[in-house]
Amino acid sequence: MKKEILLTSLIMMNPVVNLQAKEITEVKAQMHSKYETLANLSFESNRSFDGHYWTYNQDLNDATKHYRKFKWAIEIRDNSDETMTHTDDELKMEYFLVLHKVFEDGYIVSSESEFRVDRLTNKRFKLYNCDSSLNCQSDYANTEMILENIGDEKVLLIKNLKYVFSQDDYEDAFFIQTKK
């Protein structure tokens, strides 16, 4: 047993072992530098949807329902410092997504749901509706996002919006970058 420990110690002290560890670290850093980032990007859907919002008039004690077209607007923020620890397994997502409905008359309704984004590959991501911690750990209420560069613009495809935005009439949607 002592010989095995001594032999292992000698091998680990070898500069070649340290070099290999350093090379692995460098390769990992190079891989991450080639990843597309979503942090601090904003996107807007390339088409409009039918929707409504309510306004309340306190003087008349009356609410009015407004039917208008809207576009989805998405802000994506870096989530590197945030860890969700209220689940059984510590869950760390790479990005936090904020969703808004921007109506044609300028009225904006922000979603009350929490959305998280986790990386699958260089340009593929998983979008989760994290209203429930269970949703963030299962195959429920999530979908895939793909980021592509088309010319000078970034385009984001979100597949099956209905799975995360809880609306039956939304399928795949394209989003065009609005903020660089």
Q: In this model, does residue 10 exceed pLDDT 70?
A: no
Cα–Cα distance, 126 to 177 (Å, whole number): 18
Q: Where is pLDDT greater, at 173 or 118?
A: 118
Q: Where is pLDDT greater, at 172 or 103?
A: 103
Do 47 and 114 lie in a common domain? yes
* pLDDT tens profile 67-107: 999 998 999 888 765 555 444 445 567 788 888 999 999 99
Q: Which domain holds residue 75?
A: 41-179
* Number of independent structural domains in the chain: 2
Q: Model pTM?
A: 0.68
* pLDDT tens profile 97-135: 888 999 999 999 998 887 888 888 888 888 887 776 555
Q: Would the CA dihedral through 53, 177, 74, 136 be positive or negative?
A: positive
Do 6 and 94 lie in a common domain? no
Do 161 and 91 lie in a common domain? yes
Do 14 and 58 lie in a common domain? no
C-alpha 78 chain-centroid distance: 9
What is the model's pLDDT at position 30?
63
* pLDDT tens profile 15-41: 555 556 666 666 666 665 666 777 888
Cα–Cα distance, 38 to 176 (Å, whole number): 13
Could you give the maximum distance between any two Cα atoms of the chain, in Å? 89
Angle at 91 between CA 85 and CA 93, to 5 degrees: 120
Give long-range contacts, CB 8 A cutoff, 24+ apart: 145-150.
Answer: 145/117, 147/36, 147/38, 147/123, 148/123, 149/36
Rounded mean pLDDT, 142-149: 84
Do 95 and 23 lie in a common domain? no
Do 97 and 64 lie in a common domain? yes
What is the model's pLDDT at position 87?
44
What is the model's pLDDT at position 67?
95
Do 12 and 97 lie in a common domain? no
- Parallel, antiparallel, or unpaired for β 95-103 and 115-119? antiparallel
Do 80 and 25 lie in a common domain? no
What is the model's pLDDT at position 29?
61
Do 99 and 151 lie in a common domain? yes
What is the model's pLDDT at position 60?
86
Do 101 and 129 lie in a common domain? yes
* pLDDT tens profile 43-69: 998 888 899 999 999 888 899 999 999
Do 72 and 116 lie in a common domain? yes
